[in-house]
């Protein structure tokens, strides 16, 4: 298995996948709860960042597995906050959607990137994001009363 050595002489083993510029992703490298707990403790809550998140104005793809319970609500919040976001919920997948459903993950990502390259507008029409399930005109029971 090929290796690379970091600046501090740590040897990392890796797998080659695809072509192009080499990128190395290190997940949980040299870490356990003792290394990330202090960072998590100082990190603001995602919901506290909603105003800054709403300022994002670039095409954004949010992907989550429908079995990844802790990520579903934040994914919906991000979709609602970012006017240029698309949301993909992969059925039957958990937190490792790229590993659990690689074909679907790659297909959705490739389609999204193709749309970005083609210059597709991702700006959501205001009527597409109503305040309620009743749409921009509100609850029809309030307008039509007993007729419904």
pLDDT tens profile 95-110: 999 999 999 999 999 9
| Closest alpha carbon to 68 in 40, 29, 98, 106 | 98
pLDDT (tens digit per residue) in 6-33: 777 777 777 777 777 766 666 555 556 6
What does the alpha-carbon distance between residue 86 and residue 79 come to, in Å, rounded to a whole number?
7
Range scoring the smallest mean pLDDT among 15-24, 56-65, 125-134: 125-134
Q: What is the pTM of this model?
A: 0.64
């Amino acid at each position: 298995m090929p290796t690379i050595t970091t600046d501090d002489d740590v040897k990392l083993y890796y797998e080659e996948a695809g072509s192009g510029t080499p990128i190395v992703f290190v997940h949980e490298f040299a870490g356990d709860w003792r290394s990330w707990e202090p960072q998590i403790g100082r990190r603001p809550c995602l919901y506290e960042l909603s105003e800054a998140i709403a300022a994002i104005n670039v095409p954004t793809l949010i992907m989550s597995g429908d079995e990844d319970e802790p990520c579903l609500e934040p994914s919906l919040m991000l979709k609602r906050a970012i006017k240029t976001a698309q949301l993909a919920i992969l059925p039957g997948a958990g937190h490792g959607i790229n590993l659990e459903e690689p074909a679907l993950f790659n297909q959705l990502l490739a389609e999204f990137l193709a749309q970005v390259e083609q210059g597709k507008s991702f700006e959501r029409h205001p009527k597409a994001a109503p305040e309620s399930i009743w749409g921009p005109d509100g609850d029809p029971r309030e307008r039509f009363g007993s007729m419904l």
